[in-house]
Amino acid sequence: MTEHVTIGSCILYLADCRDVLASIGRVDACITDPPYGVTALEWDKQIRGWEKLIDAPHLWCFGSLRFFLGWKPEGWRYAQEIVWEKHNGSNNLSDRFRRVHELAVHFYRGEWAELHKETIYTHDATARAVRRKARPPHFGNIGPSSYVSEDGGPRMMRSVIYAPSCHGEAVHPTQKPVEIVSPLVQYSAAPGATVLDPFMGSGTTGVACAKIGRRFIGIENDPGYFDAACRRIEEAYSQADLFAGGVA
Ligand SMILES: C[S@@+](CC[C@H](N)C(=O)[O-])C[C@H]1O[C@@H](n2cnc3c(N)ncnc32)[C@H](O)[C@@H]1O
């Protein structure tokens, strides 16, 4: 029997994901940051075939372009990507541009039109009158329109998202900021839906789920990071936004 812990609406497995994934069943989205096999970190060994064991319509996967040039998840179709812009770089090689970004690439299965997708808005519009021309037929024949936006009003979230890296307070060497993961959770999983992270590390995807009212299944095979994930998710529940769409 695989060891697992339940915290609120999160189920956390201390296990090798390859031993657990086949028994997880259908989830609404998988959002993960797998080992890429590019650092000297002990756990960083690329795992093959895990994506075939995921039963979900959405897969968001963090990584570098170098990683994605050598890896295409079998059975998934490419949808889009977001760029996480960091405040400082992860390398300082003098013969390269200073690298201050990372990608999260979105893959999907099934009919795109039928998938749950929530448009995410930020509240930082600047006031202006917008006159939209009619769009050509290949964009769906949308007629002309106009609207006036307000300062601080909603605008569709941009695909380049700035968030400081967690360096000072990180409990994991490749910890992602919750601010980057939360919009991906919100976009792909309705309130109360289930998100899976088979390589959860310190549990950032679970923290995002706990804060905004999604169920979560996380798997991590390192006992130290597993404990850190449990602590962070417990803490997230104690600070959760009760009005963000709770889980029954
Ligand atoms: C890139 S890190 C994830 C970091 C995470 N996004 C965070 O914010 O903390 C990948 C994690 O996968 C774990 N891991 C590696 N192989 C695994 C496996 N076969 N099953 C489960 N976890 C694994 C590693 O121990 C590591 O913590």
Could you state, in order of their start, the residue ranges of all structural domains in the chain?
3-120+157-243, 121-156
Q: Report whether pLDDT(216) > 60.
A: yes
**Would you call 89 exposed, middle or buried from its count of C-beta atoms within 10 A (0-12, 13-18, 19+)?**
middle
Q: How confident is the model at residue 243 (pLDDT cuts 50, 70, 90)?
A: low
pLDDT in tens, 97-119: 999 999 999 999 999 999 999 99
Q: How confident is the model at residue 75 (pLDDT cuts 50, 70, 90)?
A: very high
Kindly give the pairing relationship between strand 194-197 and strand 160-162. unpaired
Report the pLDDT averaged over residues 2-10: 94
**What is the CA(220)–ligand 1 centre distance, in A?**
6
* Residue 17 Cβ contacting ligand 1 at under 6 Å: yes
Mutate to test the pocket of ligand 1, among 18, 31, 45, 221 (most ligand atoms within 8 A of CB): 221
* pLDDT score of 169: 84
Report the C-alpha gap between 56 and 228 in whole angstroms. 26
**What is the CA(118)–ligand 1 centre distance, in A?**
27
Architecture of domain 3-120+157-243: 3-Layer(aba) Sandwich (3.40)
Comparing 124 with 80, which gets the higher pLDDT?
80
Q: How confident is the model at residue 213 (pLDDT cuts 50, 70, 90)?
A: very high
Task: Specify the DSSP element, H or E, that contains 233.
Answer: helix 223-238
Comparing 188 with 46, which gets the higher pLDDT?
188
Q: Mean pLDDT score of the chain, rounded to an integer?
A: 90
* pLDDT score of 248: 46
